[in-house]
Amino acid sequence: MFTINFKTFQVTNITQGFNIFEFQDPGNTGFQYKDGNLIPITFDGKDYLINLSGGGPRGHALPLDNVYIYDILAGKWYRQPVSGAAPTNTRGACTVTNYAPDNSSIQIVFFGGRIYSQTKNDFFATDDTWVLTIPSFTASSIPNATILTPQLLETSRQHS
């Protein structure tokens, strides 16, 4: 991970490796992580990055029964277990953050993306919607409307 000081334009590599992340990589091949969501939040006066979803080669995803938190001030990653029914391992989802009016909690809404099917040896689009509530770190599934049909990036149309 790189940081940029916009006053001095200094770029610093603060990569710490993937030892905190519990990838499904039984052969420990050290594959490259991609297609996840890195969500900036401020909670209790501190700034954090919340990492959700993503993975490596087909069939090797980051389990969503944990949330990975980067404490910006401490410069350290933490792994936080999630209670509730965790979503299926997903890549390329859309997320949005919603703060309670008194800033006592944060909801990260997680929609869509693609899920790998081992039986088909391919990815398929999903319209699943989940909410992760912080600080309880509870995941909840939200029933979807059937207005939109999810599309993979490779098959989507450009809208103007």
Long-range contacts (CB closer than 8 Å, 24 or more residues apart) made by 75-78: 75/14, 76/16, 77/16, 77/20, 77/21, 78/20
What is the pLDDT, as a whole number, of residue 157? Answer: 45
Range with the largest mean pLDDT of 1-5, 10-14, 51-55? 10-14
Domains observed in the chain: 32-145 (2.120.10.80)
Asked if residue 1 lies in contact with residue 20, where contact means CB atoms within 8 angstroms, the answer is no
Query: How does pLDDT run across 19-50, given as a tens digit for each residue?
Result: 666 555 555 555 566 677 889 999 999 999 99
What is the pLDDT, as a whole number, of residue 1? Answer: 74
Query: How does pLDDT run across 41-98, given as a tens digit for each residue?
Result: 999 999 999 988 776 666 666 777 888 899 989 888 888 999 988 777 788 888 899 9
Phi-psi category of residue 45: left, alpha or beta, with phi > 0 → left and psi -120 to 50 → alpha: left
